[in-house]
A = this chain, B = another copy of it.
Amino acid sequence: MERENLRGIDAMPVGANPFRRHARCVVPESHLDLLTRPLLAHLGTVRPDGSPQVNPMWFLWDGAYVRFTHASTAQKYRNVQADPRVSVCIDDPGQQARFIELRGRVERVEPDPDAAFFAELAKRYSMEGVSPPSGVSVRVVMWVRPETAVYL
């Protein structure tokens, strides 16, 4: 579907002041529900040859970061190691034309050796008790800070 009539295009580079960075959120109030509901996100990364890759992903929004659970053996993980710029697109399944796209970059990757964050997301997505498909030892948490938002 065509999505040109965007209600807002925020191009707000986050400032240098870390407090301001934290306080200044690019997500509009009107679309916050898309980040708090357990919807699938579509994560866009760039492959080593410069072509795009899109993967459906669980996520958690904490008001400043979109956090993903990842395996350090995954191609998309290698992609963001080489180029941390990502796009995160979330739609409203109940309203066909409504979505938000957040563009930003991976600021941090932390190990999740006990897969505790994976388990937290599994619970959020009603898949409690499911095991990480690539095993526990390779789990990582990827922190994405949105820098711009496009929404309709």
Q: Out of B2, B46, B53, B57, which one reaches A50, CB within 8 Å? A: B46
- Of the candidates B51, B85, B88, the one whose C-beta lies within 8 Å of that of A54 is B88
Are the C-beta atoms of A53 and B2 separated by less than 8 Å? no
Question: Is A132 positioned at the interface, with any CB of B under 8 Å from its CB?
Answer: yes
Q: How many residues of A contact B (CB 8 A)?
A: 44
Copies of this chain present in the complex amount to 2
Residue contact B52 to A101, C-beta cutoff 8 Å: no
Q: Assess the A54–B87 pair: CB atoms within 8 A.
A: yes
Q: A77 — nearest CB in chain B belongs to which residue?
A: B4
Nearest CB in chain B to that of A6: its residue:
B133
Instruction: Report A's interface with B, CB cutoff 8 A.
Output: 1-5, 40, 42-46, 50-58, 69-71, 73-74, 83, 85-89, 91, 93, 96, 99, 101, 103, 118, 121, 125, 127, 132-134
In the assembled complex, 8 residue pairs joining A and B whose CB atoms fall closer than 8 Å, in A order, are A2-B70, A2-B132, A46-B46, A46-B51, A51-B103, A52-B86, A52-B103, A53-B87
